[in-house]
Structure 1
């Protein structure tokens, strides 16, 4: 009985359950993969079969149509009719083509059959190889426009070009509105697809048509008089376009604010920085609410000012909203609530006010007109696309005296547009007066119960957290309020109370309380803001919004390296995507390169499609996203070599940093024949640093520390993320060289102190709530949210464009080959006396480690290490794998004896 209970206990052990769960998950994953492959092959075969049958139907339809119509249904034709058919795919192909073409949509059925095969290809590969969802628009165009068009244009043709669908639609419209009505119906359907579904732009065509008119009619004002002589002309509009050259946009690019004339801009400058423009373009003063004078607290009445600040800048995707004066609301108990309403970012206004890009388009198409002799051709571009795939810096010339433009490597590259991001509505932050009043009373009563008096309390409402700023009475110790953090959290019944005592730069104490209704910060709002679009930063990244609802956009080049930490599921991966998306929207592929390290193999794999645009890798590597620890060591050391090479270029060019060097190169003051070249920024992104430290240790830590110390001046920056911010992962060397820290919610206070050197990260509420330490300030932000489908659309948009011939190649690291050569130089004729005994022990135990040799044979560490190196040189054990035991290459002792005979 005891033995039976022991067996049952062993079978129900946690290790057994974990292994069974792992086996079940792997079996379910394999089952899903097999089902996906089976469905993929089935769709691919059906699509190919139906395509071939439709093509054959175009030639053999007359012979097979007679048998089909004379049979008593398709079932009899398929299984009972013995008459021969001419279709290449037999009776089944003839029946399928009859249904698709004759009874369906005519020749447009090929769109459906090819789409079915493309869907099968995507299922087989397990990813989107062919963008099948974009084909749905073309299929709809074919079914609703091409089919009726064929039926209308060829009414007497025997072959059913339009199918039953086209014939039926044209027959109905001819009877209802005549042939003219059918024609108007076709034009309406075409315009619907052209301007609404496919969003074709007709403005450049109309603009060029206006240029062909020889005489220009004078503009007439609403009163009927001719326009004034100082009205803006085409030349003035062309001059105004210079401010757009730093940030080029497409015709279908992000929605932006209407282009202001010089007169409007001068008016805005004269009125001052506090003035804004209304929807009519007139300057309007921004009304501010003065803070009430401080009054001594009498114990019965306390004034609370609730301030909801908004970002000072106006997004370029909408006209500047007018300022609103403060609203005073009378509350019970003689309390006064002062609300400063923010400037709301209205998504509807973003859509209603399209960006007037007329001036920019006139500049682009003036050169086209000179080359086309007045012909209206929308597809002609000013810069001809090179026939060969460009290499990095392939267009550098010495003879040209014009400034060097690195973007000419890929002259037709288009930046991602804002419509690739989801339109998530973010209305004005709601002010729950009852919630604010309740929290105020709870804070006052809690402090009063401990004998702490305050003079004033102010609330700042943010998207996720409300900051209550209190001014204590004279004689109150700050440490006394700081120690009441748990008591205030208990009375407020809220998670994530954080006390800032005192707030830097203010004479107040802050109490951060999470809101009941939290709001998400969409990435599209930050990227459309004026602060980001007009940013002159080297590497601008949009992280999120502060408590006062101000956009937080910072330059990665000034950080210069970023250390991220947070527990699983708290928004760390979303934060990395927000940083990468910000850089993709702002920097040209010739100006920025990424080196991505992803030990988990799933987080950054989505960016492999932009390999030939933005990624950098070692020569002769197959995978652009680095997942192998050995390749990580080689890549980081290759970045150190790249850093040293760049410092040599800076020394020869007489520049102190990459900015000065690139400015000299752009101005043609550095000769490419002497080895000088344009240096793009390189950003190293490591998703899970703890795994690298566990497997590689010092091999990874030392070169990363060297990069962090020296690489800032040459444009190499590092972003490290980890979910375990312990002291053995984030060592003192790493922390000393990463002044910028970003912490999401962590599980313990010690983790918060490890990453931030301060507490507070353990009090966050998760879901993008984070603390950022940059410089001397510690800010609480709500991270911008960008979903994985949005990133996929952005990466696919970039990957579908023409890129470089190869990815940006890093210098080749020779350290691995040198170590291998040293091991090959080991003289086995001078092997240790204990060599054969140690070899037999390793083979019998199938585990090779230096510590095992020390224990079994009572050897010192140095001698055991030399024997292990000799075993590796002899081919008995594999190379070292960090802290893990070495792989044993020989399985039995008999094989070992034979192997030793061949060696000696």
Structure 2
């Protein structure tokens, strides 16, 4: 009798010492974003979190990105499952709670409807990526940023993670966490032209970016096991499963071949949050269309908020990095570095390294970057890597730029100010 009266079958979960029958309440209510945050007081710059939702007891639950049990999040669910609202709540909370010195964002939105409202915020490391090409560029940039951060850790004994770095140097110098949120990864990983680049970058980031404070949040409506590589899926310690159309989609998202519970969720923000255990939460509803004035007010406050901290900077600029990928800054070495060059003379086509003869002239930005890194104690090869994205594997190009940097520093020490 009672079972026939239920519109949705109860979700059954096995817990230590018992079995839980999760029966939806008849008077379902919204959990509005604005009812849970006032944004008063100073944020905890050492413990960056995003909103999770409200559990079955009505208790608010946050998702701690700084925790080793989270680090990166894989999520998904069908249309009207509440995934987009969850993502918007995460972004809105991050930009309003934390200044750009503490949190930076890297956003990809190939559907072009979810993240457009956040373009122009000072927290963004780059404009919102809206196609596979720009997303590949963004992920490659984050891989390079990750490597520069680990080089910074290496310079300081006993530092291996961003938490250790900030505990030693913050608040005077804060290494910001970078949250990369990708909406609809299925389209990206199905793109024949860029899927290999995107997969390679994701694997590198998922393997070790968490310790450097770079977190990947990957979402999709269609978690196809043939599209999302198992190595990628297995490297997400946290999962957020919204209502799915097929039982197998639930298994893919939650990383368990037997866990089909997401197919029984109610939609509209009802989701499962899995780390060391599984919680059923109701995501917060931003209501950016219902209450656009509140939404715009928070964005305005995010843009104008006081930022009392000094952020650590790698010296890597996204626009210059993206240009170097396509050789727009230099026609030498396939554009691997941002070259500050003056004259180029065509040489033999058979000589790759010598296909162009060039004289290097350091502009003001390059000189300032070199001096800044030198004063911080960077070694010569580290400076060349940070400023020009060149290492010893780049052969003659590396040697030429290394010699130029060395000559510039020697000239500076001697009191000279002329360009090299």
Work out whether the TM-score is over 0.5.
yes
Please point out which of 12, 27, 31 is paired with 1:499. 12
Tell me whether 1:541 sits opposite 2:50 in the alignment. yes
Answer whether contact 1:496 1:764 (CA < 8 A) is retained: no
Query: 1:517 pairs with 27, 34, 47, which one?
Result: 27
Partner of 2:226: 728
Contact 1:634 1:816 in 2 (8 A): no
Change over 3 Å in CA distance of 1:496–1:537 after alignment to 2: farther
Alpha-carbon offset, residue 600 of structure 1: 1.4
1:680 is aligned to: 176
2:127 is the alignment partner of 1:627: no
| Distance verdict in 2 for CA 1:796–1:712, change over 3 Å | same
What's the CA shift for 1:529?
A: 10
Give, in whole Å, the separation in 2 of the partners of 1:753 and 1:552: 23
Q: Distance in 2 between matches of 1:739 and 1:659?
A: 18
Aligned residues: 318
* Aligned mate of 1:569, from 80, 97, 102: 80
1:694 is matched with: 190
Question: What is the aligned counterpart of 1:704 among 202, 212, 230?
Answer: 202
Q: Does 1:661 align with 2:165?
A: yes
Matched residue of 1:761: which SS? helix
Q: Which residue of 2 aligns with 1:381?
A: none
Per the TM alignment, residue 706 of structure 1 is displaced from its structure 2 partner at its CA by: 0.6
Change over 3 Å in CA distance of 1:631–1:535 after alignment to 2: closer
Aligned to 1:798: 302
User: Could you tell me how far 1:801 is from its partner in structure 2?
Assistant: 6.2
CA displacement at 1:820 relative to structure 2: 9.6
Choose the corresponding residue for 2:262, options 750, 756, 761.
761
Q: State the shift of 1:601 in Å.
A: 1.7
Distance in 2 between residues matched to 1:802 and 1:508, nearest whole Å: 50
Going from structure 1 to structure 2, the CA distance change for 1:651 and 1:821 (only over 3 Å counts) comes to closer
Quote the offset at 1:702 in angstroms.
1.1
Q: What is the SS of the residue equivalent to 1:646?
A: helix
Shift of 1:629: 2.0
Q: Which runs of structure 2 are paired with 1:437-516 in the superposition (5 Å)?
A: 442=2, 488=3, 491-500=4-13, 502-503=14-15, 505=16, 507-516=17-26
Distance in 2 of aligned mates of 1:701 and 1:536: 31
Based on CA coordinates, which of the two structures has the bigger radius of gyration?
1
1:321-720 → structure 2 map (5 Å cutoff): 442=2, 488=3, 491-500=4-13, 502-503=14-15, 505=16, 507-528=17-38, 538-558=47-67, 559-610=70-121, 613-617=122-126, 624-654=127-157, 655-666=159-170, 678-695=174-191, 696-720=194-218
* Secondary structure of 2:100 counterpart: coil
**Is the CA contact 2:145–2:316 (under 8 Å) kept in the aligned structure 1?**
no
Shift in CA distance, 715/732, structure 1 to aligned 2, threshold 3 Å: same
Change (3 A) 1:603 1:819: farther
Q: 2:181 touches 2:218 (CA, 8 Å); kept in 1?
A: yes
> In the TM superposition, what is the alpha-carbon distance from 1:693 to its structure 2 partner?
0.7
Check the 8 A contact 1:616/1:808 in 2, yes or no.
no
Higher RCO (C-alpha 8 Å, min separation 6): 2
For the structure 1 residues 529 and 521, does the alpha-carbon distance in structure 2 shift closer, same or farther, using more than 3 Å as the test?
farther
Unaligned runs of 5+ in 2: 336-346, 351-420
Q: 1:795 to 1:583 in 2, by over 3 A?
A: same
Please give the alpha-carbon distance, in whole angstroms, between the structure 2 residues aligned to 1:767 and 1:639: 32
Distance change in 2, residues 1:548/1:704 (3 Å): same
Q: Which residue of 2 aligns with 1:770?
A: 271
Distance 2:128 2:45 in 1: 30
Q: Report the CA distance between 1:726 and its aligned residue.
A: 0.9
Cα distance, 1:641–1:698 mapped onto 2, change above 3 Å: same
- Counterpart position of 1:787: 287
SS in 2 for 1:514: coil
On the 8 A contact 2:99/2:306 being kept in 1, the answer is: no
Distance (whole Å) between structure 1 residues aligned to residue 300 and residue 39 of structure 2: 24
Structure that is richer in helix per residue: 1
CA distance in 1, matches of 2:95, 2:212: 20
The whole-number CA distance in structure 1 between the counterparts of 2:171 and 2:270 is 44
2:373 matched residue in structure 1 = none
TM-score normalised to the size of structure 2?
0.69
Deviations 1:110-133 (A, max 9, x none): xxxxxxxxxxxxxxxxxxxxxxxx
Larger % of strand: which?
Answer: 2
Paired residue secondary structure (1:771): strand
Paired with 2:284 and 2:42, the residues of 1 have a C-alpha distance of 16
Q: Residue 542 of structure 1: SS of its match in structure 2?
A: strand
Shift of 1:800: 5.3
TM superposition score normalised by structure 1: 0.33
Question: Are residues 802 and 740 of structure 1, via their aligned partners in 2, closer, same or farther at CA, if it must alter by over 3 Å?
Answer: closer
Relative to structure 1, the CA distance from residue 533 to residue 767 in structure 2 (aligned partners, 3 Å threshold; closer, same or farther) is: farther
- Tell me the secondary structure at the aligned position of residue 28 of structure 2: coil
SS state at 1:602 partner: coil
Going from structure 1 to structure 2, the CA distance change for 1:639 and 1:534 (only over 3 Å counts) comes to closer
Look up the match of 1:66: none
CA change 1:511–1:587 in 2 (3 A) is: same
1:809 aligned residue (301, 312, 317): 317
Give the unaligned 5+ runs of structure 1: 1-440, 443-487, 618-623, 669-676, 829-904
Where 1:609 maps in the other structure, the secondary structure is: coil
Any idea what the Cα deviations from partners look like across 1:162-205, whole Å, max 9, x if unmatched? xxxxxxxxxxxxxxxxxxxxxxxxxxxxxxxxxxxxxxxxxxxx
Say if 1:667 and 1:492 are closer, same or farther in 2 by CA, change over 3 A: closer
1:534/1:667 CA distance change after superposition, 3 Å: closer
- Paired with 1:535 and 1:512, the residues of 2 have a C-alpha distance of 35
